Structures are given as structure tokens and as C-alpha cells.
Structure 1
Amino acid sequence: MTSLPILKVLPEVIQTLQKRTAAVLIAEPGAGKTTQVPLAFLNESWLEHKKIIMLEPRRLAVRSAAQFMASSLGEKVGETVGYRVHMDTKISRHTRIEVVTEGILTRMLQSDPELAEVGLIIFDEFHERNLHADLGLALALESQSVLREDMRILIMSATLDAEPVAALLQNAPIIQCPGRQFPVETVYVPRHSDVPLEKATAAVIRQGLTEFPGDMLVFLPGVREIRQVRQEIERGGIPQGCVLRELYGQLPQSRQDEAIRPDPAGNRKIILSTSIAESSLTIDGVQIVVDSGLMRTQVFSARTGMPYLTTVPVSKASADQRKGRAGRTTKGAAYRLWSRTEHDFLRDRNTPEIIQTDLAPLALELATWGVKDPQQLKWLDCPPDAAYTRANGLLHELGALDRGGAITIEGKKMASIGMHPRLARMVLQGMAMGRSQLACMLAVLIQERDPFHKGTPGRDVDIETRMLQWINWLRNDADINQALLADESQLRRMLRESRHMEKSLGIQPDSEMDVKQCGLLLSYAYPDRIGQGRGNGKFLLTSGRRVELLQLQQLSRSSFIVAAVVDDRGAEGRVLLAAELTEAQLYAAHVKDMEEVMQVSWDRDLQGVKARKQFKLGGIILKDSPYPNPPAEAVSTALLEGITVEGLQLLPWSKSSIQLRQRLQYMHVLNSEWPDVSDEALLATLGDWLLPYISGMRTKNDLQRLRMIDVLENRLSWEQRKQLDREVPTHLSVPSGSKIPIDYSSPEHPALAVRLQEMFGLLDTPCIGNGKIPITLHLLSPAQRPVQVTSDLASFWRTGYFEVRKDLKGRYPKHYWPDQPLEAVPTRRTRPQ
């Protein structure tokens, strides 16, 4: 004990908290901070016999730390040192140090914001940045600021970036403590992408056992991988003198303790573990770590509003934590299933959970606290705005928040249950329906790893099947299908969880357990995941998301389902757990959320407006029927939408109306006060200039009755019409007597296409705009082909004409090509008469 590095800095930690109300302690793995720091404060005068609350990220670490501290005092757990975790509490009126999971602190603060009996809160392993740790710190800082200036807060970690935390605690002192000086050799054994994880891990396990002594701790991303590696080792034979142990959160406490304690027979232990053993836990005898380099984390999809579990590479900080497990009590080795180069590209630290997870539980806790805007509290990382807004939207849909964002009576009940708001609402509704026990069991089943399958792709996803098997198992029914049951010990633990929930809520057992109510109960928890069948196992959810069952099964033919668990990584989400919802149940439970919608829209196939009456629940249409007499305004709006979609070509543009548009655009170019009649401007302002003329019209054929020239002219005042005719004429009279239309298609360059012979005798270029704007002349051959383009007719007669004349005289010898064009008679014929 005297060799623990933390003992060297404990006096500094104690002195700091005598003077300040906050501090940050960075102690490397193996320093002993978890078990020594709380004990050191017991006799401090400022504590005034108040309690010390220490937060740990995992239940196993809570129990282990409490047991170690109690043992060092020569006491049993529950005396001076106790603990509180979900479904397991060991404290007494004498308890001064309570080790708790992070969510327990939130419950304590919600019930007593002053924390009158608490003098010090210790956040251990804060680098893990769990959602409840961030929330607990934010609420504790608020309590300290407003109600308890004397309360101390200590942040502890091995790999935390200390400066931002210290700044959050009003520049709290940072105390550094080195860890044990036991060397740990790092061995990189890169896994080839073609080699399955279980085979590569098993090979490295065998290698490590031959190269180094002691027990071995193997880090794997999840329970599935633990079992795969175990099977791979057992297939090749467990090495002599070794025993396999598993360690993960869902295991019964007795089996967790078995993994931590030395083997009674003295065998070497191979402990296959998730990240549960990454921090806050010393397993005596471990000298070898095998690190797969992977971890399982929940990510919230902003695209679909659904969370999903994904496997990602660990961070450098996590890899160092894992490596440190081998150097706690003696020297050791850490095998890493990646290369040195890959290690350089790992992110430095894990992404804080608050950045990437479902924020509905956080939003409900803040609403209970009385905070609508999280910016009112102090955070290391403030909850992202978009995710927080979505969370509030879900809480409103669940009935936990009112329209103003304040918590409702129902919301307070949901918060008091202490589970995800979705499941809390389902349990409350189950109590109201007289289906309390079924709702509790269903909530546990949803939260837990599925005990009724063995990882078979495309398996039956029906929750009713699982609930029926569980009930049969509960009744010792011989009908239970053992082929479906993957983990009976998990069923026993789930049953304890359900019974604990029923006891805490004062629930009596249901008179009957009708699994046909599963879909109805789940629909209260997942109103956004009620799915309408689209055939072949595909469903459209009320949220608008599309999901599918990978393999056709009985549930594939259901008209409605509730998709409780969805893998969201594909174009269409893959349903992992669901239950059927009958139409009668749907209408009985959710009729108040249904709405009758008038759907008046443009139909591209019909080239007209289609009117329907739809009865909808969110994004799914329950009933759809024709709407014979829709409001005229809605029809006109849909018709305008059709023109926007199809383009202005849907309107009947004649030559004269096209030319009028071009003339108006020419005037707009000269003077921006004139209306802009470009395609973009007309489409953007359809409601302003076209709406008055389309009353009673519904189709493209109806639109052909429009006189677009009248529509456009009506946009002008009487003075503008006169000015338009005066300055931008439609036609120009040429020397031959022809009246030729002017082309305004290029507003910057009005043009006149005229045969060269019709311009004989005219010296200067014709102008418009009160004689200020010369026309661009396209002089044509007798075959109406351009031979010259000019805006300077006089210059053309002097020079260009004679070159053109030679060519035209050769090609059109019968035509009149005079030597003096300004003295010649203009003609529309071959020769002047």
C-alpha cells in the first residue's frame, strides 16, 4: 500500500480542497486514486461529517472500489463505505462514502438539488465522458453555484485533457500524479483484413501465453466477439493449466467476481472482456493484455433520427488505458492487433457521448431540472443544437413536454422511472391498461441483448415470439424452444430486473400475459416507428423512414408493425426486433394523433391537379379517397406548383406574346423599375402575376385558354404601354415598304433580319429608343441566309457591300445588285419594277 504513487500527492490534493471548492487530479493507471482518495478526506473539517459521493462509469467498478475501501478499513461494505447501483444497494446510516454509477447522481440531484448531506462529489475516470457524467457535472456545478458554495467537486482521470476541465471549474488547480513504474512491453501483431477477428485473437492469445507469464486480459468489442473467440480457443483446445473467463456488464455478479478473483486452483486465467475492464479496475495477476483495438459504441443518426450500435477503432487514450491493465502489479506485455503506423492514425481520445448519442434522456432530465435551453448550464461540450431539438420533438410526441417545452405531469412520471423516456412511457401506459407486468418485461427485453437468438442472419424478429418463450420459461413450460434460447442465465437476470422494476413501481402481477398486446404497448414507446406494410417485408414508418425485414417471415405480411430495434446503416433500415400492431389497436391507441389531410397537388402523369382526402398518421397514409370539390384556392396553388415543376412551357406562348416578353425584358435591362420577365423571375412570382387568370383551371389543357399577351400587358400601366410602343416597337418599316418584326431575344442587342435588297437607299442604321439605340442588322441573301451582321449600315455601304456583292452576283445572277446601293431602288422582288 505504501508504494502507491497517489500517496505522494495526497497531501497536495487535501490542501487544495481545503482552500478551493474544485480540483482536477490526473493520475496515471495504477496510481491508486480510486481507492485511496475518498478515504483521505474522511476526517477533513470542511466535510463536517457529510458524505462523499464517488462516481464510477460501470457497476463492476463501483462494487470493486467499495469492497476494496471497506476491506482496507477492516469493515464490511455498507458500513463506512457503501455503494449504490441499479438493483443493488449496500449503504447504512453510518455510510460516509457512497460509490455510485453516474446515473445515480442525477437521480440524487433531481430529488434534492441542494445535496444537503453531501460535502464532496468525485467524478472518477471522467475521461470516458459518458452522457450521465457530463450531465451530473453540469447539474452539480449549478447546485454548487446557486445553493451549495461549500460543496467540493473533484475530477479524476488517467488520460483526461485537464485544461478544459479546469477552466470549466473556474480555473481549478491541476494536480499530476505518476502511475506505478512497472514496464509494459508493447507488441504489435497486425491483423490482416482477410483474417476473422476471432482467429487472429485466438492466435495471439496462444502466442502471448508462451512468451510471458501471468494471467491474460483480452479486450473485445462485444459479447458476440467474446463468444466467437471462446469457441475458437475451445476448438483448438484450451492451453494446459489455463481457464477461460468472460467479463461483460450483462453477466451475473457472481460470474463477474469469478473473472476478477484469482483462480482457486491456481490456473492461469484468460479473461475475455469488453471495455468494462478498461478503467477503475485492478485484476491481480494480469501480466498480459491482448487488445483487439475495437470498441462498440452507440451513434445517433442525424439522417434518420435513430440510434444504432457500431464497432469503431479505439482511441490512443483507450489503448493506453488497456495497456496499463498489464502494469498494475508487475511488469507485463500488451499485444495490439494493429500496426505502429495504424496506431499513429488513431484519434487521440474517444468522442464524448453527448456529441453522438440520443439526447432524449438528457433533454428529459434538463426539463425536470427546469432548464429549457442547455446553454444555461456549464458543459465541456454543449449538447448539439440539432440533436437536442430532435430530442425535444420526441419528448413532445411522447407527451413528456408541452408545446412551450415545459415538462408535463406525465413527463415527471417518466423521469422518475429512470429509464429511457420511450420505455418509461410504455410502462406508464401499461399500468393504465392493466398490462403492467407485460410492459416491464417488454422494457427489459428491449434494453437487453436478445437472449433468444444465436446471431443467425435473417432470423425471426418477432418480439411476441420471444415474450411467449420467456413466459413459458417462467412457468417451466415444456413448450419452450431451447433452440431459440441462447443464454438462459441472461433470462434469469432479466427476470430479476423486471421484478425489481415492478417492485419499485408498486406493480402487481398481471392476471394474464397476452403477448398480442406487445405491439400496442410498443407503439406508445415508438410512435415514430409504427410501420405500414408495403409488401415483401418492406415498411414505411410514421417518421417517413423506410425499413425492411431481410428474410420473409410471418411478420412480413403484417399490415402494421412497430419496429423497436432497427439497424440504420443501409439505404433502408433493417428491422431487428418488431411486433405486429393490428389496425384496431392502431386506431384505438393513436386516433388522437391522426389527421385528415386535404392533398391537392400537381400530377405529372395526368398533367393536371389531383385532389385526394388522406387520413394520416405521421408519414403513413391510412385512408386515401378522391376529393371531388377541393377549395379553388388550393387547386390554383397546386396548378402554380405544376407550372413551377414543369416550367413556363406549360403556358400557351404565341409568337406575339413571346415577342412582348422579349420587349419587356429589353426595357427591364434599360430600367430595373420595369417588370423582370425572365424565366427565373416569372417562376418566382407566379402567384403575383398569373394567379388571377387561372381560376377554375385544373389541367394543362385548361391553361391553353390563357391569352399570355393580355396577361403580360396587364402588368403595365397605360403610360408604360404607350412608352413601350414608342420606344420598343414591334416592327420596323424598311425602304422596300416591308414591315419587319424586331427580334428582342437578346435584350442587349435588338436585331432586324432583312434581305439586303430591301435596304437599298437607306444610309444610316435604323434606331429605336427614341433614336438612341441602333438596331443590329442581319442582312440576308435572297435565300434568307445571313451575309452580313452590322450595327453601322453606312460603313457597310462604303466597304463591305462590294465584297458581298461579288459573291451574291455570282450566286444570284438574275437578282439586282447595283453599283451604287444608296441610289438604287429597294425591292422585295428579284429586280425592282
Structure 2
Amino acid sequence: MPVLPIDAILTPILDTLDQSPCALVVAQPGAGKTTRVPLALLRAEWLQGRKIIMLEPRRLAARAAARFMAQQLGEQVGETVGYRVKGDTRVGSATRIEVITEGVLTRMLQNDPVLEGVGIVIFDEFHERSLHADLGLALCRQIQTVLRDDLRLLVMSATMEAEAVSSLLDDAPILESEGRTYPVETHYVPKPLTGPIEKAVVAAVAQALRAHEGSVLVFLPGTAEIHRTASGLVALQLGREVEIAPLYGNLPQEAQDRALAPVRTQGHRKVVLATSIAETSLTVEGITVVIDSGLMRVSRFSPRTGMTRLETVPVSVASADQRRGRAGRLGPGVCYRLWTEQEHRQLQPSSVPEIREADLAPLALELAAWGEPDPAALVWLDPPPEAAYLQARDLLVQLGALNESGGLTPHGGRLAALPLHPRLAHMVLQAIPLELGALACELAVMLSERDALRAATKDADVRSRIELLRRAAAGEQREGVDARVCRRMAAEAGELMRSLGVKPSGADTAASGLLLAFAYPDRVAQRRSTGRFLLSGGRGADLPELQPLSNERYLVAAELEDSGVDSRIYLAAPLEEEALYEAFEGSIRKEQLVQWDAAGGVVKARERWRFGALTLKETVLANPDPERVLEALLNGIRAESLDILPWTRQARQYQQRCLFLHRFVEDWPDMREETLLDTLEMWAGPHLYGVKSKGGLERINLTSLLEEMLTWEQRRSLDEWAPTHITVPSGSRIPVDYSDLESPKLSVRLQEMFGLTDTPRIAKGRVPITIHLLSPAQRPVQVTRDLASFWRDAYFEVKKDLKGRYPKHYWPDDPMAAVPTNRAKPRT
């Protein structure tokens, strides 16, 4: 067995765990920590024959690590060393080391909260900070501190914030392996790339094969880019001595083994096209050159929309360094980075922990099943974001998994027991009584994967995908369909059916929309126009191109991209309206709407049936509640202002007279517009029963309504303190203008005021009227609030000016003794 860098600290690791319940190991990729540390721990005295559980973030790495350790012991997988991953288990009664993926750990913890028979849990590659790793560590730490002080926890990573993890584990000791890496020559591109990344990758591979010996490891963001790059390399006709080997999580086992194995023939070379799965844990034999696209695909959840989307983003500095390190495992290597040095300086130091950006519905369900629905009861490196966690709980309440207080319901317990997202688990359990369980299992497995069949279909119809899956699993060949992936998914669906006691049926896919509605009640979509829909969650959505689903009245969107104003629908199925009513009878709200319609100027009464944001049906409400009609009318008046009411000149003057007195007389009603709007129910409401439109309002006597706001005593005093008219010396009754509340005015011809020395006063004598004295032509010649002063000082100047223009009119020398007249001259 070759000596590896980790061997130097195996004894210190054993000694540390002998004294401490927790420890951290930091070792570079290739140091051997994944396979050497579990084997070394088998001889620890404190283990006392109990099991070692080691978590790996990915299925491919878990299987590979278990096989390698079994080979070191000269055994088959399933003897001393075994593994448990989704859909594949190789363990036996003698198994002491179980390599498991993180989702399996949460199932183990829920089934056995004390981990009986387990001596240590190892968290490998913890720096990847997957959601399940954070959750698993939080739960194991609670078990250790509350129930099992003999349980050991070991956190291992290539690069991580060791001090933060140590602090979380009560200052656990940190052991570091110096590692053994060879120098790696790093090349950057001279300027930022444009266009598809695959073209640049193909060119870089061709250059590397010409300039260097050994095999090449290429990092690409996803399987689509891997397949396009592979096609580009095949077109180069590199020769039989160059093998092109894809490597990603959904590949069949034999294809994964072929990518990881050394080349079989001397002089042959391999080009491994991998996702970020090859950054850590896995050892790809013979690699001397790394070509890094600098991109990775991450899943991000948006609390704003409640949807998860896949984004292609630049790698972090930590990920880029780990990828580069793969070229220096065997000797000096070369790394081609397809970005500039300037772009490199702008990269994030490390990747964002998944818990900050993931859909937290599975986490919320796991915590409720654990008995701690409040995440604050556990210790976290990064606690779940509050907004996303509350949204996750709301979804679980909608699915019936949690009650309103956050407690787990019996249905929620059944959901938690299934290895599916809560949405899909709910769909499967709802389908079984309807005898649709087999179809639901197929849908659940297919939706748990990325859409591997999109390239083979021309539409977004999930029914097409199911038919393709069935035919490919049965052996039918079709371009763009990976039959091996389809067979694997069919096998997983079959295993799920067996675990639930569901018989395979090959049933018609017509009920797919109904089943999707169980999983995605917030994504039931109603057509607004061809290809454009409104989701029951309130968002808009559209289909990318015209297709049969574009004219469906209802459909359910299983996969959406939430960028932009409207989400893009990538996977959906039609839903019959009758099925929607039957399946969601308890969620469809029947409501009566009595509202003011501003466009028509009328109160409209309707009865409608709603599912989330969707209006399923609407009819006219024949006999609406009079109180609700009145409320709607008053709301309409408020929305359009008091100008909608029939303001006659008399009504407006009445309001102004009252507003004037409100300024000077205590307890006088306030008739300002804002006050009238605020108190509309009290002064206008009793008079508006039966009125439903602007036309009906026209028949209201608004003056009478305002009068009723005054007491009998105030009404009697109003004419005295704020008269509508004042009789002037000529005998004429002149109206008082209250439009200026500070200074009501009387506009009267000068000759009609002869002989009057005292200015008329109102408001109980507190306010003198402002008199606008007019010429014979009704034009103002003087404004005064002191008539005596006018007669004494200003009259003669006015007389001199007007007498020449109006010689036929009466211009006495003594206005105080003159006879007032409303004619040109007084009667003889």
C-alpha cells in the first residue's frame, strides 16, 4: 500500500478522538483522508465494535470510496465496507464501515435518533457545505450533547473555515495534513471569452493534447455542456488512442468506472469531461492537465417567487484551486483557466453554503419530524434564512404536513418517511387512493432528476417525457434519449412502487396534470392568452414557444425559470377543470364580491370561486347584502372624492357657511372634505341605502344631508351668525360669498350703501364682512372692512373718478346723509 500524506497524522487522529468527542481534519485533495481515516479508525479501542458512518456529498464518490476501501482489505463491497446511496445499498451483517450520502443519514437519524450501534459519524468534504451536511451535523451534535456523550464526530475537509467549525463543536482539536502536491503551471486566457464555452474548451483540449503528456481533466458546468464538448472533440478526429469519457452523477455505474479508471493501453490518453463532482473525493487516474471552464451550476431558491432555479455561475477561488490541484497529484502539471487574471481577482473566495440559497421545505419537514420545528433549538454554522424557512413552513402547511403551529401531522410523518421532496411525497401519497400510484412514482423519480429528456421532445408536456421514459426503459432507441439513464430511472420508480405496495400499471398519462397539482398547488396555471398563464401563486408564466399546451385552459407547471417578469415554463401537464374542482374542493374559496366599479360608476355584485390567485368562475350576485352594497358605494365615493356627489350652489354654500363658523364657534361641526370623507358612514350612509350608481346619487338632496349634521339649535343660529344674504340700506338682499373662509365678502354697488356707517358683522359679531364696493358697471372700485373710514377718506377720490364716467348716476357730496338707491338716481 503506497504511503499517502494523511498517513502521517492517522495516529494523532486516533489519539485525539480517544480524548475528545469531536475533531477536525484538514487535508488537501489526494491526501488519502477519505479512504485511509475510516480504515484506521477500525482499530480504535473506544469504537468497541460499533459502526463507522461516513457521509459523502455525492453518490458517485460514496460508491468509489467504499469500493476502494474494500479492495484495500481484499474484500468485496458489502463485507467490512459497504455503502448506502439513494436506490442502491451494499451492506451486510458484518459491515463496520458504511459510506452513505447525506440524505441517507437524515433517514437513519429519524429512524434511530440515538444512532445505536454507531460509534462515530464522519462528515467528509464538509467544505462543500451541502444542506444535508449542515443538517446532519446539527442533529448529530444534539444527539451527542443530549443522549450520546460516547458518540464521536469527525469533520474532514480539503479547505474550510476550520476555526468556525471548531468553535461550533466546543473548540474541537484541528489536525492538519501537510499534503503532497506537485507544482502546477497555471495559464489564463488573454481576454474574456465570448460565445459558447464549449468552443473554447474544445480548442484548449486540442492544444493540451499537442503540448503535454498524460490525460486531461476538463471541468464543465453541466451535462449539456459535457455532451456538446464531447461532440466537438469527436469532430476533431483525435484518434483511437484518445478516449473521451464523460463523468457526472447520473451516469450508469460502468460509465463512471470507465472515467475513473487508468487508461488500459500504454500510449493511450483520456479526456475526462466532468462536472464539479470531480473537484474532491474522487481520484481520476493519470491526470496531468486540467482545463477549467470556470463555471459551475448551482440551485438557488427564491423566497420572492417560491421557486428554485438552476444558475450557471463563476466558480469560487477555493473551487478553482481544488480543480487546479487535480493536475498536480502525480507530478508537475498544467492548468488552463478559461478566464483572465483580472476576472480571477473578482471571484468570490468561497462558495455560498447551500443552506442560504436552497429550498428549505425538506429541511423544515425534517426538523418537524425530529421534534424541533424551531431551527434556533439547534446549532448551525449558518442558520436557515428566516424568510425562506417561513415560506417552507407555509408550503408544508398547505400540503397538510404541518399544522398551523408548526407541529408535524400524521400525514407529515408519512411524507418524512419517503426519500422524496415533500411536494413529490405528497403527490405519491395522494395518488395511491386514486389508483394512480404507479404513474405518481414515475413522475416523482423523473422530477427528482434534472430534465434528462428535454432534448428529445419538442414541447414542455410531461406526458411526452413519461412515454419516452417507458419506451426507452423497454429498449426502444431514440436520438437524444440516454437509454441507460431511462432504465435507471425506471428501476428507481419500480423500487419506490415496491416500497409503497403499488403495482406497476403502465397507466395512461392523462392524469399527470392532476398529480402535478398535488405536488405544486401553487403552480396551477390558468390561461390568460395563447401561451401566457397566471399561476395560482400569483406569478405570471409563459411557454417558450407555440405548442399544444399553449391553448390549454388550465395546466400545472412542474419546472419553471423565474427570471424576468413572467416565469418560463419548461415542464407542465394539462389539468381538467372538473379534476381541479374535485381534488381541491377544500381549497377553492367561494366568495361574494360587492365592489365599486369606477369605469362604470356603479356598484357591481358578483359571486366567484377562487383557487389561490386564480378566478375559476364568476357570476352576477342577484341579491347582494344591502350593507355590503352601501359599503362599496361609500368606498367608491372615497376613491373618487366628494365631487361625485350632487353639489348644488346651495349645498356648496351651506358647507362653506358651516366651515366658516367652525373656525370661530366652539363645537361647530367640521365639514372639511377630508372630515366628510372620514365620517361618510355617519352623515351620508343612512340616506344612501338602495343607491348603486352615480345616477342614483344625483337624486340625493345634499343640502338636507349637511343640515342633519347640525343640532336644532345650530340650524337656528346658522342664519343669524352666517346669513346667506344681507339686506343693505337700499333694501336689496345681497348674497354673502363664503368661499374665502378668512374673509367672507359682500359685493354691492356703492350707491346702495349710502348712509351706512357701521360695517356689517357676522359670527356673533366677531367678524366684519369684507365689502367689495362696485361701480355702476358692477366692477370693484374699493374693498374695505371699515365703511366709516371709506366715507370719510376715500369716497371723494372715488367719486371724482367715477362721476365723469357715469354722469347720470347719483354722486352726493355727503354720502352719510344721502339716500341709498339701487337705481341710477333715488326716486323723488
* Coarse TM-score class (shorter-chain normalised): 0.7 to 0.9
CA distance in structure 2 between the partners assigned to 1:427 and 1:299 by the alignment = 25
Amino acid across the alignment from 2:301: F
- Shift, 1:466, TM fit: 2.7
- Spell out, residue by residue over 1:759-811, the C-alpha distance to the aligned partner (whole angstroms, 9 max, x if none): 99999998776666788888888887889999999999999999999999999
- Shift, 1:175, TM fit: 4.5
2:363 is the counterpart of 1:369: no
Match of 2:687 in 1: 693
Aligned pairs (5 A) from 1:710-729: 710-715=704-709
Aligned pairs (5 A) from 1:429-440: 429-440=430-441
2:165 is the counterpart of 1:165: yes
- Shift, 1:203, TM fit: 1.8
Distance 1:595 1:333, change over 3 A: same
Match of 2:216 in 1: 216
Farther off after superposition, 610-619 or 242-251: 610-619
- Shift, 1:227, TM fit: 1.3
Amino acid across the alignment from 1:233: L
Match of 2:320 in 1: 319
Distance 1:648 1:270, change over 3 A: farther
Distance 1:792 1:41, change over 3 A: farther
Match of 1:530 in 2: 524
Match of 1:206 in 2: 206
- Shift, 1:481, TM fit: 7.8
Amino acid across the alignment from 1:428: L
- Spell out, residue by residue over 1:31-56, the C-alpha distance to the aligned partner (whole angstroms, 9 max, x if none): 43333333343333443333222211
Amino acid across the alignment from 1:701: G
SS of equivalent residue, structure 1 residue 109: helix
2:197 is the counterpart of 1:197: yes
Match of 2:573 in 1: 579
CA distance in structure 1 between the partners assigned to 2:498 and 2:37 by the alignment = 36
Q: Is the 8 A contact 2:301 2:307 kept in 1?
A: yes
Match of 1:57 in 2: 57
- Shift, 1:552, TM fit: 2.7
SS of equivalent residue, structure 1 residue 238: coil
Amino acid across the alignment from 1:127: H
- Shift, 1:4, TM fit: 4.2
2:566 is the counterpart of 1:551: no
Q: Is the 8 A contact 1:462 1:555 kept in 2?
A: yes
CA distance in structure 1 between the partners assigned to 2:769 and 2:28 by the alignment = 86
Q: Is the 8 A contact 1:287 1:330 kept in 2?
A: yes
Match of 1:352 in 2: 353
2:483 is the counterpart of 1:494: no
- Shift, 1:133, TM fit: 1.7
- Spell out, residue by residue over 1:82-127, the C-alpha distance to the aligned partner (whole angstroms, 9 max, x if none): 2211122222233332221111111111111111222322222223
Computed over aligned residues only, the root mean square deviation of the Cα atoms, in angstroms, reads 4.0
Aligned pairs (5 A) from 1:517-666: 517-659=511-653, 661=655
Distance 1:592 1:817, change over 3 A: same
2:144 is the counterpart of 1:144: yes
CA distance in structure 2 between the partners assigned to 1:789 and 1:177 by the alignment = 100
Farther off after superposition, 220-229 or 663-672: 663-672
CA distance in structure 1 between the partners assigned to 2:28 and 2:800 by the alignment = 99
Match of 2:700 in 1: 706
- Shift, 1:500, TM fit: 2.0
- Shift, 1:231, TM fit: 1.7
CA distance in structure 1 between the partners assigned to 2:607 and 2:199 by the alignment = 59
Matched positions, count? 824
- Spell out, residue by residue over 1:410-458, the C-alpha distance to the aligned partner (whole angstroms, 9 max, x if none): 22212111101121122223322223322211222222333444277xx
**With structure 2 as the length reference, what TM-score do the two structures score?**
0.87
- Spell out, residue by residue over 1:60-96, the C-alpha distance to the aligned partner (whole angstroms, 9 max, x if none): 1212222333334444433333221112222223333
Match of 2:384 in 1: 383
CA distance in structure 1 between the partners assigned to 2:156 and 2:799 by the alignment = 98
Distance 1:343 1:796, change over 3 A: farther
Distance 1:628 1:251, change over 3 A: same
Match of 1:27 in 2: 27
Give me the identity figure in percent.
50
Amino acid across the alignment from 2:276: S
CA distance in structure 2 between the partners assigned to 1:818 and 1:455 by the alignment = 108
- Spell out, residue by residue over 1:662-695, the C-alpha distance to the aligned partner (whole angstroms, 9 max, x if none): 5666777889987766555555554455433321
CA distance in structure 2 between the partners assigned to 1:773 and 1:299 by the alignment = 72
Any gaps of 5 or more consecutive residues in structure 1? none
- Spell out, residue by residue over 1:259-308, the C-alpha distance to the aligned partner (whole angstroms, 9 max, x if none): 11112124222111112112222323222222222222222233332222
Amino acid across the alignment from 2:393: N
Match of 1:412 in 2: 413
SS of equivalent residue, structure 1 residue 417: coil
CA distance in structure 1 between the partners assigned to 2:792 and 2:142 by the alignment = 92
- Shift, 1:625, TM fit: 2.1
Q: Is the 8 A contact 2:424 2:444 kept in 1?
A: yes
Match of 1:248 in 2: 248
SS of equivalent residue, structure 1 residue 270: strand
Q: Is the 8 A contact 1:666 1:744 kept in 2?
A: no
- Shift, 1:728, TM fit: 6.8
**With structure 1 as the length reference, what TM-score do the two structures score?**
0.87
Match of 1:482 in 2: 478
SS of equivalent residue, structure 1 residue 199: helix
- Shift, 1:190, TM fit: 5.8
Amino acid across the alignment from 1:558: E
CA distance in structure 1 between the partners assigned to 2:724 and 2:816 by the alignment = 26
SS of equivalent residue, structure 1 residue 139: helix
Distance 1:156 1:731, change over 3 A: farther
Amino acid across the alignment from 2:466: M
SS of equivalent residue, structure 1 residue 593: coil
CA distance in structure 1 between the partners assigned to 2:672 and 2:92 by the alignment = 82
Match of 2:450 in 1: 449
CA distance in structure 1 between the partners assigned to 2:701 and 2:534 by the alignment = 45
Any gaps of 5 or more consecutive residues in structure 2? none
Match of 1:269 in 2: 270
CA distance in structure 2 between the partners assigned to 1:586 and 1:471 by the alignment = 27
SS of equivalent residue, structure 1 residue 438: helix
- Shift, 1:9, TM fit: 4.6
Match of 1:468 in 2: 467
CA distance in structure 2 between the partners assigned to 1:453 and 1:530 by the alignment = 21
Distance 1:720 1:502, change over 3 A: same
- Shift, 1:341, TM fit: 2.2
SS of equivalent residue, structure 2 residue 439: helix
Farther off after superposition, 793-802 or 580-589: 793-802
CA distance in structure 2 between the partners assigned to 1:741 and 1:125 by the alignment = 90
Q: Is the 8 A contact 1:560 1:583 kept in 2?
A: yes
CA distance in structure 2 between the partners assigned to 1:192 and 1:508 by the alignment = 55
Aligned pairs (5 A) from 1:749-788: 749-750=742-743, 752=745, 754=747, 757=750
Match of 1:508 in 2: 503
Match of 2:132 in 1: 132
CA distance in structure 1 between the partners assigned to 2:264 and 2:122 by the alignment = 35
Farther off after superposition, 258-267 or 106-115: 258-267
Match of 1:44 in 2: 44
SS of equivalent residue, structure 1 residue 262: coil
- Spell out, residue by residue over 1:9-42, the C-alpha distance to the aligned partner (whole angstroms, 9 max, x if none): 5555444444443344443444433333333433
Q: Is the 8 A contact 1:190 1:336 kept in 2?
A: no
- Shift, 1:251, TM fit: 0.6
Q: Is the 8 A contact 1:752 1:778 kept in 2?
A: yes
Amino acid across the alignment from 1:465: S
CA distance in structure 2 between the partners assigned to 1:780 and 1:584 by the alignment = 79
CA distance in structure 2 between the partners assigned to 1:128 and 1:814 by the alignment = 106
- Spell out, residue by residue over 1:360-413, the C-alpha distance to the aligned partner (whole angstroms, 9 max, x if none): 222221221223333333233333333223322322332222344332222221
Farther off after superposition, 803-812 or 426-435: 803-812
Match of 1:79 in 2: 79
- Spell out, residue by residue over 1:440-488, the C-alpha distance to the aligned partner (whole angstroms, 9 max, x if none): 11222222333444277xx222222232333344455xxx6835x5222
CA distance in structure 1 between the partners assigned to 2:389 and 2:45 by the alignment = 42
Amino acid across the alignment from 2:490: L
CA distance in structure 1 between the partners assigned to 2:807 and 2:173 by the alignment = 104
SS of equivalent residue, structure 2 residue 120: strand
